[in-house]
Structure 1
């Protein structure tokens, strides 16, 4: 901990991307007097949290550091039993209180929690902690739990970088219900109250619906006639999932690997964003072989365990949930309607005009902070530089003199797409008249609708307002952002540099820029 306080130390020189704090209860709380009163217990808890927050802030001194704090492992034995919370000085009570306060402080400081206390509550303390190893080697985590500990950390790191899965693709027969809808008919499938099997399938549907409510896309991939596939969603009274919960349904008699490709294309997401749940081991193995990037859980034989199997795998780890996440299914259904209209349109201009689009824009604010940070850390394809920032760093950019920020929301006749674009542009040097586009990213869901051009119009106008004579753009190549390689060229920038690492630099003189004609109405919102 001493190295955290020294900015010239080896720790800060190392330039860590992730810092994990893992303290045992005795290190954090010492040997508390179990007879202490409530006031003394309060003071100890607050002192502990203040100490942790100081460590978090010093660790995050370097830009972009992802700080993870392990919850304190609840290893203390009870002193009075079921009503332990009534003994303020009990180590078990203090651990519970520290973990509770730690979560609140972490939310404020942009720190992620490794929730070992929750895992212990589910798995039991003996699965995680061996007192003999603790006394002999001060090893708090049992060796048997070590690999899973590492996986839990990896999930948090992946989630912070937008690498979690986005879509749960569901089979139907013997997965969402018992029986075969095409053979047994609506009255013959087993779902809901009246049998253990029906209740198990309903429980799995309920879990899927809860995932949908927090932003996971639900899709269906089934070997069925489409009419039969939709019938239970529309007509069966015991179905938990309804048609409105499903963003995309592909039901035919083709192989499921091909249909998963269709689903990914229709939703405009990568195959590596899909989790495929199917009761049939033959179908699972085919998909694993043909599409190794798709996650395929090995569902157990009993449907009562389907939801636990999906939950335990941690496919959908997230750092938080935004209002846009909760509207995800409606947004993707709207996209399918837009694509259907586009297919029927005879010309692109007529199609775009018929959408009646509005691009609502404003500088960054605290209300949009969570979604802004989420997009910055999860957008990989339409992202010119793929720089990642924490909540604290985004907040600092909002307050930095001369920085131009834009958060962009697209609405049209089919609904609200939510915040779909982010721009951060910083003065290159004070008084230089150059504004450097540090970050420009957009959701792929809105590509092909002139949003890039409308955003460019706004950016140039904001740059002029800020006194900038020149915009400097940068493209930093990654494995996933090749789609925007020529982004600046298409917008009229001039290439001014090209580097061996495929990084290119571009210039636009604001006085020479002619606004693009689009079918989008820009609307300033916010204060």
Structure 2
């Protein structure tokens, strides 16, 4: 988990996985779930395990061949259900191919397809996903539902650096993204959409209460991460305590809810030039891509650096299979390329002269805690 390998999303089948029986055939009264039978208790145990994962920040999703209204009714109406509809960030129930549905879920949540763990009692469906989407983790479930939970837990898909208060809201935050996507679809332009979000950001140094979440974000983020450097909690704490370093954390809120702490920057002093800071680490949650937060974050970083007498920011882009989304990040922010690029293959180095920087207008207002 310290290297960004932890999975982010547990995708669950429904019939004979989350409960015993087939809801479309057996009806609400006929499915097997709850205390009183070994089979019902086994499916209940899986739900409880999923619920605990959700409370730790793992995103929960459903992928089932079912009628949507029939499937959702179980979550609303069955008295033994531990998981509620509000726990599920992406709920896909239809008769389409599950491989296509998993791709849809990843796109809806704006996470990589390789962030998914797919749990299905049907061996044919498991084989289909392994063949079509080999990057999705598909545990080989035993025949007995009593062993489903242990099988999933022992696989270690959801190891975490630490648990934070923001994790409690993670599923809710991803579910809110569906409302944002609906707003985007109904907007005439991106500008109209961003304005309608009524976004505000709270920015400041990484404080004691931010350390765990900041380290978690640094170690799990693979896409918006220009260098993919990883820093343990103790290292982040040292950066935050150093008077020579500039650390920043950003919390984004909009009319749909609080996204939590979604971006972290660590800027370190240059060993040879006292008026230069290097952007050692800059990460941002994929949940807020396309919201102009990178622009507002750079505005904030430049403002804070100028107050320290800094004249130049330096940054590296080191390509990985997953961070292509930020390939053009620095030139888009006004940085210019440095000819003597770093040694890493495909890497590039960029500088920004702060005297030339003009703050970029965004649809994000700043507020204080």
TM band (smaller chain): over 0.9
Partner residue of 2:309 out of 460, 463, 467: 467
Count residues in correspondence: 367
Which string of whole-angstrom CA distances, capped at 9 and with x for unpartnered residues, describes residues 331-369 of structure 1? 100111111111111121121111111111110111111
Task: Give the whole-Å Cα distance in 1 for the aligned partners of 2:46 and 2:234.
Answer: 38
Task: Give the whole-Å Cα distance in 2 for the aligned partners of 1:262 and 1:431.
Answer: 48
Residues 499, 314 of structure 1: alpha-carbon distance in 2 compared, 3 angstrom cutoff? closer
TM-score after normalising by structure 2: 0.96
Partner residue of 1:249 out of 74, 84, 91: 91
Partner residue of 1:363 out of 181, 205, 211: 205
1:509 correspondence with 2:356: no
1:374 correspondence with 2:222: no
Partner residue of 2:79 out of 237, 242, 245: 237
RMSD: 1.4
Task: Give the whole-Å Cα distance in 1 for the aligned partners of 2:159 and 2:267.
Answer: 31
**1:220: how far off?**
0.4
- Taking the TM superposition and a 5 Å limit, the aligned residue runs for 1:193-204 are 193-204=35-46
- Taking the TM superposition and a 5 Å limit, the aligned residue runs for 1:416-455 are 416-429=258-271, 432-455=274-297
Pick the structure with greater CA Rg: 1
Larger mean Cα displacement after TM superposition, 188-197 or 467-476: 188-197
Secondary structure of the 2:209 match is coil
1:297 correspondence with 2:139: yes
Which string of whole-angstrom CA distances, capped at 9 and with x for unpartnered residues, describes residues 271-322 of structure 1? 2111111111110111111111111111111211111111111111223211
What is the aligned partner in structure 1 of residue 111 from structure 2? Answer: 269
Partner residue of 1:354 out of 188, 196, 207: 196
**1:468: how far off?**
0.8
What is the aligned partner in structure 1 of residue 70 from structure 2? Answer: 228
Residues 242, 517 of structure 1: alpha-carbon distance in 2 compared, 3 angstrom cutoff? same
What is the aligned partner in structure 1 of residue 126 from structure 2? Answer: 284
Q: Which has the higher contact order (CA 8 A, sep 6+)?
A: 2
**1:499: how far off?**
5.0
Secondary structure of the 2:29 match is coil
Secondary structure of the 2:325 match is helix
Which string of whole-angstrom CA distances, capped at 9 and with x for unpartnered residues, describes residues 384-408 of structure 1? 1111112222122122233111011
What is the aligned partner in structure 1 of residue 56 from structure 2? Answer: 214
Which string of whole-angstrom CA distances, capped at 9 and with x for unpartnered residues, describes residues 133-174 of structure 1? xxxxxxxxxxxxxxxxxxxxxxxxxx1112111111100111
2:39·2:146 contact (CA, 8 Å) conserved in 1?
A: yes
Task: Give the whole-Å Cα distance in 1 for the aligned partners of 2:234 and 2:334.
Answer: 34
Task: Give the whole-Å Cα distance in 2 for the aligned partners of 1:169 and 1:409.
Answer: 27
Partner residue of 2:362 out of 518, 521, 526: 518
1:402·1:466 contact (CA, 8 Å) conserved in 2?
A: no
| Stretches (4+) displaced over 3 A | 429-432
Secondary structure of the 2:367 match is strand
Which string of whole-angstrom CA distances, capped at 9 and with x for unpartnered residues, describes residues 74-112 of structure 1? xxxxxxxxxxxxxxxxxxxxxxxxxxxxxxxxxxxxxxx
Secondary structure of the 1:165 match is coil
Which string of whole-angstrom CA distances, capped at 9 and with x for unpartnered residues, describes residues 424-474 of structure 1? 112214654222111111111101011011111101101111101111121
Q: Which runs of 5+ in 1 are unaligned?
A: 1-158
Task: Give the whole-Å Cα distance in 2 for the aligned partners of 1:477 and 1:325.
Answer: 29
**1:225: how far off?**
1.3
1:218·1:246 contact (CA, 8 Å) conserved in 2?
A: yes
